[in-house]
Structure 1
Amino acid sequence: MNANPRGIPKAPFVDNLDEYMKTDTPEATLRKLTETVSKYKFMESSRLQQRASLEQKIPEIEKTLAIVEYLCESQGSNEPVKTLFEVNDTLYAHATIPPTDTVNLWLGANVMLEYKTDEAKELLTSKLSVAKKSLEDTVEDLEFLRDQITTMEVNIARVYNWDVKQRRQKQQQPTISA
């Protein structure tokens, strides 16, 4: 397998350094390996941001879904629903909601749409399952990326040590003078 399911390439482990180092100078090889580590770290940073976003979004979807489910359950009743809703982070207001079969949902980008409560429940349930699957994939990618970064850092250390060993051997060889 040369990549994970989302296309992140697998880092090669350099087994035979003598054979590997025949193609390029140690400096060029170290530069390429370091560049690859930087790419993996960039991907890791991107996935960390994605994970943080999903970890914030999932509870919001769950909370909204719970409210819609409650409204679905109370549809048969003619009694208004009394509730306390969040206006801002620290500001709440009391509300009395008359019996209704519709809800308005924020879709993002300053867009709000009205849905029947059953449709809203279906939409939120599907959004929640997609978000949870995405979070699962992101966590899997982060684990994969950590392994690849570790592999590349080991490769860098091995190439560096190989280069030091080669330089010492050259220094220890007796020079023949004419």
Structure 2
Amino acid sequence: MEANTSRRAVGLRDKIPDIDKTLETVKFLSSRKEDAEPLESFFELNDTLYAKAEVPKTEEVYLWLGANVMLSYPLPEAETLLRSKLEAAQSSLENCDEDSDFLREQITTMEVATARVYNWDVNERRKEKASGRDDGEGEAKGRPDG
């Protein structure tokens, strides 16, 4: 559970800056005037390959939704969608952090309890050995290890 929660938190920490950056871009596109000159921009096509493009004033954007799906959204709807996705991701990250803290506490509690049971068993065996009852009486009392 701890590894799964940690993995989910790492994924969210990677995703949140991307959503935030996309939201800022949509806000910028929304703020442009009708008579603004086209923007000159570079788009990443691959890890090392970029294309130069001119972006005119636009009223819609295309957003990747995942699973090779891209949809067109009007700028106000895109901004609303991205805000909700950002809030959901931040909330989920907070929950992951709380869950991780809780799991760490529980793991520590379990380890301490296991150590106490082990130490108790060691002390009981020493007492039995010291009292000279190491001759098989332990089996008669229901202890298979004697």
Instruction: Bin the TM-score by the shorter chain.
Output: 0.7 to 0.9
Following superposition of structure 1 onto structure 2, how do residues 1-178 of structure 1 map, counting pairs within 5 Å? 43-174=1-132
Q: Check 1:98–1:84 CA distance in 2 against 1; reply closer, same or farther (3 A cut).
A: same
Shift of 1:75: 4.5
Q: TM-score, normalised by structure 1?
A: 0.71
Instruction: Could you tell me which runs of 5 or more consecutive residues in structure 1 were left unpaired when the two chains were aligned.
Output: 1-42
Q: Which has the higher contact order (CA 8 A, sep 6+)?
A: 1
**Contact 1:75–1:101 (CA<8 Å) still a contact in 2?**
no
SS of the residue corresponding to residue 88 of structure 1 reads coil
Aligned length: 133
What value does the CA root-mean-square deviation take over the aligned residues?
1.3
* Distance in 2 separating the partners of 1:67 and 1:99: 13
Instruction: Could you tell me which runs of 5 or more consecutive residues in structure 2 were left unpaired when the two chains were aligned.
Output: 134-146
Rg bigger for which structure? 2
Shift of 1:174: 4.0
Percent identity, aligned pairs only, is: 52
Matched letter for residue 63 of structure 2: L
* Distance in 1 separating the partners of 2:83 and 2:63: 13
Q: Residue by residue, what CA displacement relative to the aligned partner does 1:53-97 show, whole Å, maximum 9, x if unpaired?
A: 101111111111111111101143342122222223333322101
